[in-house]
Amino acid sequence: MERLMKALGDDGLDDFDQAQLSALGGDSEDEEDDQGDEDEDEDEKDVMVSDEDEDGEEEEEEEEEEENTGELEEEAEEEDIALEDAEFVDEDAIAKRKVEIDNGPAMARIRESIQLDPSLPWTETLIMTYPHAIDVDVNDDLNREVAFYKQALQGATDARKLATKHNFPFTRPSDYFAEMVKSDAHMERVRQRLLDESAAIKKSDEKRKEREGKKFGKQVQIEKLKEREKSKKDMEERLKGLKRKRKDILENPDADDDAFDVAVEDAISDRPVKRGRGGAKISRQVRDKKYGFGGAGRRSKQNTKDSTDNFDFGSRKGAGGNARGGRGGARGGRGG
């Protein structure tokens, strides 16, 4: 290698060729074990180096021929695999780079040659330019489509103004019938699909409401039942209390029916009206019996030796009340 470099001497190798050589030299060292081949290698390399020089010159000539207008052309070389990744590099292989051509002046020239006459009125070409560049994330579908929609909307509104300026018919009148791009049958299918969609949405909405209403309704039902039971119990309690209080009426044939009814009403109602004791119709004797000698009526014994043989029942009212109380009490007991 060093002999070679010396041999080249002043000619030398420019950076590109040197880089290539070093890359190739590195690879070939790995592969070749025989020293006998070294001479051959050097010869080949010598040849290759000179080839490269020639190639370089040829390339330059070609470039000059092609680009007579001094165009920008980046190095035109194609690469299939990266040189670092290559496992086996042929000694004669030349590293290339991907083609990237951007020939601005040529494109401008071509465009001018095909350009429409700029004096053509707008109505000939109907071109609108959107003054903003679209800058949305490509993968964000909604915003991307919104950006395109905005572009089109602006174009349409600007075009309307331009059309009125040029007296160009813009809006299609409603009585203008002509063949459309999509057939009527197709539009019917589109309409049907839209209807189906909206119907499906409505149906699912209704079902959801029903489901929730049912849950809610179940709760309401349960609450109602509970309330009913509670009020029943309440009534029973009140009646029981009333019966206990009114036991003295059994023994009292003069018991007032109205008084009992009034008492029942009071018990049932939530707000018992405060009234007087039935207009004080109770006589002096009854009063004495009831309240005299320490209030005998209530606090006296009832199931005594005498009372077991005493079959003298009280008035019909008292007995009925008691019977009612007895039966009601029994019912209340089982129900509760």
Which residues would be at the binding site for another protein (CB under 8 A)? 66, 98-104, 106-108, 110-111, 113-117, 119-120, 123-134, 136, 138, 144, 147-149, 151-157, 159-160, 163, 168-172, 176, 178-182, 186-187, 189-190, 193-194
Question: Residues near 1 by Cβ (< 8 Å), separated by ≥ 6?
Answer: 25, 42, 45
Torsion of CA 302, 307, 311, 315, to 10 degrees: -30
Q: With respect to another protein, which residue has the nearer C-beta, 76 or 319? A: 76
Identity of the residue, 38 or 140, whose beta carbon is nearer to another protein in the bound complex: 140
Measured CA to CA, the distance from residue 197 to residue 189 in angstroms comes to: 12
How many whole angstroms separate alpha carbon 222 and alpha carbon 211?
17
Least distance in angstroms from the C-beta of 58 to another protein: 18
The label of the residue with tokens 């030349």 reads 94
**DSSP reduced 3-state for 187:** helix
Shortest distance in whole angstroms from residue 125 CB to another protein: 5
Classify 304 in phi/psi space as left (phi over 0), alpha (psi -120 to 50) or beta: beta
* CA angle, 105 then 110 then 116, to 5°: 130
Q: How far is the CB of 41 from another protein (least distance, A)?
A: 34
Q: Least distance in Å: CB of 64 to another protein?
A: 15
Q: Residue 218 CB, nearest distance to another protein (Å)? A: 39
Cβ nearer to another protein, comparing 34 with 175: 175
Which of residues 92 and 145 has its CB atom nearest to another protein in the complex? 145
Residue 94 has what DSSP assignment?
-
Question: How far, CA to CA in Å, does 130 sit from each of 23, 116, 122, 164, 334?
Answer: 51, 20, 15, 19, 88
Indicate the residue among 125 and 308 with the shorter CB distance to another protein.
125
CB of residue 29 to another protein, shortest distance in Å = 27
Nearer to another protein, 199 or 220 (CB): 199
